[in-house]
Amino acid sequence: MAKSSRPSKQQTDNKAAKSPALQTRKFDADQSTDGERIQKVLARGGVGSRREIERWIDEGRLKINGKPVGLGDRLKAGDHLQINNRVVHWEKFVEQPTRVLLYHKPVGEVVTRRDPEGRPVIFTQLPKLAVSRWIAVGRLDINTSGLLLVTNNGELANRLMHPSTQMEREYAVRILGEVSEATLAKLKQGVELEDGKAKFDDIKFFGGEGANKWYNVTVTEGRNRLVRRLWESQEVVVSRLMRVRYGPVVLPERLKTHSFYELSEKELELLFEFAGMESDKPVINAKPEFKQHKSGK
């Protein structure tokens, strides 16, 4: 997708960007008669994951045209949908374009919509959506920077985050001091943490001067603070942590912090394929560009 990023190469200025609609989903002739499964439509719109919506259906929280919804029910043009007796204008989820942004999160921002402590949140740095909302694909803690995928397609987000996909996450890690070969071997074999055994799937040395050394490590789990906890289990001090890859998507070298890059049509197609999902035919030939958010800093 984009070229791989090293921690020390974030120097090129970003260009102003357009935010085109990259991919459109519409009912085809068969869907106009039979409709589309409720959980698929609502997951696509970011209302919840398919599993959550199926649970809501089991709990009787959804109604179509005033009647309780069953798991196999479909939405058809003109249907009146309610969740917890509140009307949901689901038609907009059918026609909305799928968009995926690569956001370069800085240290100090949190991946949440509202923070009770008043800390800056990543969603204020993203363009406004007329329909639906941005969904973060996984999280980065406040002290971790780097690549964060966000999308308005809930079904795609859920697929990319699901443990069954074994999605690789690659991090650039700066540590203090030397690390023995025995310690590195142990981290690759696996160590016991408070929430179970974990390991690095790969560790590569990237050099460094003086007391600081850089490593790139890969994990396939999304457990909270997993990379830090693995190093700390061996009494290794992590002084900087940056995610540089999520699955097939890498952080572009020239993407500055507080900025985002929107995937092109071809990149979206590849991401859908990687996630094991079918993508609809793109309708706009969009050229990917970079966007620097004007935060007033």
Residues forming the active site: 141
Distance separating alpha carbons of residues 190 and 185, to the nearest angstrom:
9
Please provide residue 89's backbone torsions phi and psi, each rounded to the nearest 5 degrees: -85, 80
Q: Which helix (H) or strand (E) holds 82?
A: strand 81-83
Q: Which residue bears the tokens 């329909």?
A: 131
By CB atoms closer than 10 A (0-12, 13-18, 19+), residue 253 is middle
How far apart, in whole angstroms, are the C-alpha atoms of residue 134 and residue 154? 9
Q: Which of 255, 254, 249, 297 is nearest to 274 (CA)?
A: 249
CA 266 to chain centroid: 18
Q: Which residues contact 182 (CB under 8 A, 6 or more apart)?
A: none
* Contacts for 288 with CB less than 8 Å, ≥ 6 apart: 261, 262, 263, 264, 267
Interstrand relation of 196-198 and 191-193 (parallel, antiparallel or unpaired): antiparallel
CB-based contact 191:198 (threshold 8 Å): yes
CB proximity list for 201: less than 8 A, separation 6 or greater = 168, 188, 218, 219, 220
